[in-house]
Amino acid sequence: MRVVGGEWRGRPLTSAASSATRPTSDKVREAVFDVLFALLAAPAPADVAARDETAIGDAPFAPGAIGLLAGITALDLFAGSGALGIEALSRGASRCVFVENAAPALKSLRTNLARLQVDAARGRVVAADFRRALRHDAHSGNRYNLVFVDPPYVAYREVELDLSVLLERVLAPGALVVVETGKGESVRLPLSSLRAKLYGDTLVTFMEAGS
C-alpha cells in the first residue's frame, strides 16, 4: 500500500494485520480522488465562500492555489491506517482529523503519520469511538469540508443511524462526504447523493451537505 498522488506520491503505508481493518486499496483511492477532483473542479462562488468561513484553520478554500484540495479540512472516520486522510493531505488538504479506536489500527496510523513527518497541527489523531468524536466536534463548533466514512462493511448498517444524527452537525455548507460500503449496501444518510461508483466489492457513494 502506498500514497497514490501528491506530495508523498509513492511513499509506502503500513496497515494493521487485523480482520477488522480493511484498508482502501491504492486503485480505489486513486479512483475516489479522481471523482472528488471532478466534483471540486468548478464549485459555485457561494459554496467557496461558505467553505472558507466555516472550515477549521486559517487556510482559505482556494482551488487555484496549490490544488483543488487547498484549504480543505478533512475528517477521516474509521481511519484505520489513515490512507484516505493521508492521501487528502498529500494532495493539498490543509488539515485532517483521524478518528480511530482500535489499538492495532492506531499503531499503524501513527506510524504512517510519523514516517511522513506530519505534525499534530496538520494531522491530528483522535483515539475514540466515532460517536464521541462527532459529539465533541459538534459541541466545539468544528466543521469539515471533506469527510471519509469507511467502517467495516459488516458494521455499516449498525453505525448508519448514529451517523444520520451526528454527521450533519460537523459538516460545513457544501461539504463532500465519501462513504465506502460493500457492493450490496445502500447509503441512506440525510445528504444529497451525487454519485455512486462500484469498484469490485466496494461501493463508494459521494454525497454533499446542504448549503
For 85-101, how does the pLDDT look when each residue is reduced to its tens digit (9 = 90+)? 999 999 999 999 999 99
- For the 26-208 domain, the top CATH level (class) is alpha beta
Residue 123 scores a pLDDT above 60: yes
pLDDT of residue 42: 58
- Compute the distance between CA of residue 202 and CA of residue 59 in angstroms, rounded to an integer: 33
pLDDT of residue 17: 62
**H or E element, residue 76:** strand 73-77
pLDDT of residue 20: 55
Residue 6 scores a pLDDT above 70: yes
Q: By CB neighbour count within 10 A (0-12 exposed, 13-18 middle, 19+ buried), where does 35 fall?
A: middle
pLDDT band at residue 41 under the 50/70/90 scheme = confident
* Predicted TM-score of the model (pTM): 0.87
Q: How are the residues of the chain apportioned to helix, strand and coil, as percentages rounded to the nearest 5?
A: 35, 25, 40
| DSSP β-ladder status, 171-182 and 202-208 | antiparallel
Torsion of CA 1, 66, 35, 119, to 10 degrees: 40
pLDDT of residue 63: 36
What is the DSSP code (8-state) at residue 33? Answer: H
Q: ∠ CA 108-140-61 to the nearest 5 degrees?
A: 75
Q: Write out pLDDT tens, residues 151-166.
A: 999 999 999 999 999 9
**H or E element, residue 102:** none
Region of poorest pLDDT, from 32-41, 116-125, 135-144: 32-41
pLDDT of residue 21: 59
Mean of the per-residue pLDDT values of the chain: 87
